[in-house]
Amino acid sequence: MRVVITGAAGFIGSRFSELLVEQADRLGYDEIVLLDALTYSGRRENMNNVLRDSRVTFVEGSINDAEVTEDLLRGAHAVVHFAAESHVDRSITGARAFFETNVLGTQQLLESARHGGVERFVHISTDEVYGSIAQGAWREDHLLEPNSPYSSSKAGSDLAALAYHRTYGLGVVVTRCSNNYGPRQFPEKVIPLFVTNLSDGEKVPLYGDGLNVRDWLHVDDHCRGVLLVLESGRAGEIYNIGGGTELTNRELTHRLLDLCGHDESMIESVTDRLGHDRRYSVDWSKIRDELGYQPRVAFDEGLAQTVKWYRENESWWRPLKDRQS
């Protein structure tokens, strides 16, 4: 059977590809196709480990390209769809690319999956589609109230995916994760940005009062959750995937300062982001109770390992930082 992974050169997609290869025999996949357009955050070297496996092939192409998606998805058993524009700050200054990729690209992929006889379509989304929550946690049936161009584009792609299930019977399952962290995350995101800044002796920019709250999820735990959904998730359903560690951005910053050997003098307060959601929190009891999901990576351990990885792999992130400056 063939499985197609979109966005496979990115942070989460590349890690998922590695875990899938480890489970391929058990799941019955003898052909694993990695698809990525290799835009600014997609790194070919992120796929080096899996491309050594004879079952794995890489195709450079866009999910907006009907010729590419029709060819790859024809006769495939499953698609795991990670490909997306994902950085909120970029969406605020250039929203069009987010809707072109996240909404229209997803629709093209869904259409090709429908025509290609795909049985399983796992659509990877985000907790940001829910908006902001002052207390409690979102269940999967909560109203969507996105507040940024990024999150609204992801909400649109979620609705398109679920509509293809209801209208055409496509075997769509949607996952919504909390904030991911781990090795190989592009250094525009908060944890690698702060770690690489501190490695260079530069201050770290903290938005507003720093009291915005996020739930942190190690990329390995997220990918294990997606594997469970690929294997056993119910078509037409949504599954939240959380990490179980909620921190304010200020608390996270102080942990990073400690790990990097700096004090709060390295914090630079900056004007808050436009439309900055105050708090995210997902109720992930559904995937726990139905599929047996449980985070395995303790946050303090995972964060320390992540900081260590960036400090030991400057050759990976330095060209990306230089390109951004």
Q: Give the residue numbers spanning the domain of 117.
A: 2-180+217-241
Note whether 120 and 142 are same-domain residues: yes
So what's the pLDDT on residue 162? 98
**Looking at 150, 164, 239, 293, which residue is catalytic?**
150
Is 207 tagged catalytic? no
Rg (CA), the chain: 19
Does any domain span residue 287?
A: no
Nearest one of 207, 199, 121 to 160, comparing CA atoms: 121
Distances (CA, A) of 115 to 77, 109, 265: 12, 10, 57
pLDDT in tens, 156-167: 999 999 999 999
Is the domain of 69 the same as that of 205? Answer: no
User: What pTM, to 2 d.p., does this model score?
Assistant: 0.96
Among residues 96, 122, 112, the alpha carbon closest in space to that of 62 is found at: 112
Same domain, 86 and 20: yes
Let me know if residue 283 belongs to a domain: no
Task: Decide if pLDDT at 91 tops 90.
Answer: no
Residue at 24 is within a domain: yes
92 located within any domain: yes
**Is 45 labeled as catalytic in the residue annotation?**
no
Among residues 127, 158, 215, 221, which one is catalytic? 127
Q: Both 149 and 256 in a single domain?
A: no
Q: Is the same domain home to 190 and 140?
A: no
In a shared domain, residues 72 and 156: yes
In a domain, 290, yes or no: no
Selecting among 36, 111, 128, 246, the annotated active-site residue is: 128
Averaged confidence pLDDT in the chain: 96
267 with 228, same domain: the answer is no
In tens, the pLDDT along 94-108 reads 899 999 999 999 999
258 and 318 fall within a common domain: yes
Q: Look at residue 272 in the predicted model and tell me its pLDDT.
A: 83
Q: Could you tell me if 66 and 170 lie in one domain?
A: yes
Which residues, in sequence order, are CB contacts of 243 under 8 Å at separation 6+?
178, 179, 215, 216, 217, 218, 221, 222, 295, 299
Domain count, the chain: 2
Q: Is residue 283 annotated as a catalytic residue, yes or no?
A: no
- 236 with 254, same domain: the answer is no
